[in-house]
Amino acid sequence: MNERPTSDVRRPTSGESGIDRAIAAIRGGALVGMPTETVYGLAANALDADAVVRVFAAKGRPSFDPLIVHVADAEQAWTVCVPSDRARRLAAAFWPGPLTLILRRRPNVPDVVTSGLDTVGVRCPDHPLALALIRGAGVPLAAPSANRFGRISPTTAAHVREQLGDAVAVVLDGGPCRVGIESTVLVPDPAPIILRPGGLTRERIAALLGEPVALADAAQRLGSLPRASPGLLASHYAPRTPMQLIDGAFPSDDEVAVLSWRGDHLPERSRAIETLSARGDLAEAATRLFAAMRRLDASGARLIRAELVPDHDLGLGINDRLRRAAGGG
Ligand code: TXA
Ligand code: MG
């Protein structure tokens, strides 16, 4: 699965491998670019408040947006939060994997990780380098996506170096991310509700639990966060170039870049075109989404026009990212 030799931003100074230096960096309170199956994370020791403060500073992230704590297995998860019956079943079925559970936190989790909430988001990433880093460091890792706040999440080690190269001690290179969009964030209790659609589909969660799974609207998402600002969740995952969603044929325009679902209704003239999946495969589209947005952003277009994908399965997460990139909630 996308495994490659590790590399990092600095030249090796000894015979140590990238993973050894990454483990030492975490133990020393520094930050590591960590590959996961979803997107790259900016990881720090979740139990070290000073290290976690460095994560917020490096990202330019407001302190009222809590971080996800990454663990090597469910047993380690239950050292930082209190599992419910649903949480145990979901973890057993879907971890390692792209599912973040919001659960009541234990007192060992610093306030800065949860922005003072009495809940914490936990997930076990499905990537051998992430698991090796967590196990080697011997602590859970707080990690947001390794992008500057509000910008496009990184799906390669090079993306991390571009945006945060100066802030990290090591970037572990795990190759391009397999899933390509972030984890699904789920509040399991008292009734399951998805705060952020992502790499694990609502359909699979509902099938496992045997009950309906709600999808939070913008107000519920904001309500789940402390001192939420209206701008916090609306505009996100955004390229620098303005982005607009369209329905139907793409108009011809040499200055406009096009983000197409299957390559239908393409314009005669455009600045650049990216097709997410010519064969109409939502998993392929998710894997390609963020890198395609970055390429269009770099094309010099004055505007990116994008179309939504079908609104089911991974399409929920893809459309959420497209809407937010276009500045809508
Ligand atoms: O796939 C992922 O989830 C990636 C990789 C690195 O694991 N991480 C990621 O982290 O996307 P970040 O920080 O970019 O997004 C975390 C989301 C935010 O929307 C945050 O508000 C929400 O999870 N979150 C974290 N803890 C929460 C809590 N206690 N209650 C409600 N929402 C929470
Ligand atoms: Mg993020």
Among residues 305, 264, 266, 259, the alpha carbon closest in space to that of 285 is found at 259
pTM: 0.93
- Tell which one of 38, 55, 145, 147 to mutate to probe ligand 1, the residue whose CB is within 8 A of the most ligand atoms: 145
**Model confidence pLDDT, tens digit, residues 196-254:** 999 999 999 999 999 999 999 877 777 776 654 444 455 677 889 999 999 999 999 99
Respond yes or no on whether the N-terminal peptide bond of residue 110 is cis (omega within 30° of 0): no
The full 3-state SS of 129-194, as one line of letters, equals HHHHHHHHHCCCEECCECCCCCECCCCCHHHHHHHHCCCCCEECCCCCCCCCCCCEEEECCCCCEE
Q: How far is the CA of 61 from the centre of ligand 2 (A)?
A: 9
Residues with a beta carbon under 5 angstroms from ion ligand 2: 145
Task: Note the pLDDT tens digit of each residue in 66-114.
Answer: 999 999 999 999 999 999 999 999 999 999 999 999 999 999 999 999 9
Sign of the Cα pseudo-torsion (293, 296, 298, 302, in order): negative
Ranges of beta strands (E only) in the chain are 32-34, 41-45, 68-70, 81-82, 99-105, 119-123, 141-142, 170-171, 184-187, 193-196, 214-215, 243-245, 253-260, 270-275, 303-306
Of ligand 1's atoms, which has the minimum distance to the CA of residue 181?
Answer: 1
Token representation of residue 98? 């792209």
All structural domains of the chain with their residue ranges: 6-224, 243-325
CA gap 267, 286 in Å, rounded? 23
Give pLDDT, residue 63. Answer: 85
Find the residues whose C-beta lies inside 6 A of ligand 1: 36, 38-39, 41, 65-68, 98, 100, 102, 114, 117, 119-121, 125, 143-145, 182-183, 185, 195-196, 224-225
- Check whether 329 has a pLDDT greater than 90: no
First vs last C-alpha separation in the chain: 34
Question: How do residues 31-66 score in pLDDT, each as one tens digit?
Answer: 999 999 999 999 999 999 999 999 999 999 888 889
| Ligand 1 atom nearest to 125, measured from its CA | 7
Ligand 1 atom with the shortest distance to the CA of 199: 1
Q: Whose CA is nearest to atom 13 of ligand 1?
A: 144
Contact 39, 155 (CB under 8 A): yes
Measured between alpha carbons, how far is 83 from 318 in angstroms, rounded to an integer? 29
Q: What is the mean pLDDT of the chain?
A: 92
Q: If DSSP codes are grouped into helix, strand and coil, which group holds residue 120?
A: strand
Class of domain 6-224: alpha beta
Report d(CA 263, CA 259) in Å as an integer: 9
SS3 assignment, position 238: strand
CA nearest ligand 1 atom 6, residue = 41
CATH class of 243-325: alpha beta
DSSP state of 251: P
**Structure letter (DSSP) for residue 31:** -
